[in-house]
Amino acid sequence: MKTRLKVGSGVESPSFEGARAFVCVVEAKSFTGAAKRLTLPKSAVSRRVSELEAELGVRLLHRTTRSLALTEVGVAYYERLRRVLEAFSDANDGSAC
């Protein structure tokens, strides 16, 4: 079964920066590591991911004080985003995360 993410009517598309923060969190396996990669405060990365989840209307990550895990929807979304960010990065000769 294919998981579809819908953005509610009247809401802008999920932000590029939120998507980028989400990918970095997944790849770094932590908000702290993603913050270092993005040279942002950890709170900014957390806020971007939370805002992305709110915009999408789904939970992408299970968070506890000691662990971080992708939800089923988070896995599917990450795989799609990763390909998009790699293409974007290649086009701009930069790093996706």
State residue 5's pLDDT score.
53
At 12-56, the pLDDT tens digits run 456 889 999 999 999 999 999 999 999 999 999 999 999 999 999
Whole-structure pTM value: 0.77
Residues in the chain: 97
DSSP code at position 6? -
In angstroms, rounded to a whole number, what is the distance separating the alpha carbons of residues 36 and 31?
9
Q: How confident is the model at residue 57 (pLDDT cuts 50, 70, 90)?
A: very high
Pick the CATH number of 16-86 from 3.30.310.50, 3.40.50.1110, 1.10.10.10, 3.60.15.10: 1.10.10.10
Report domain extents, the chain: 16-86
- At 59, which amino acid appears? R
Q: Is 17 helix (H, G, I), strand (E, B) or coil?
A: helix
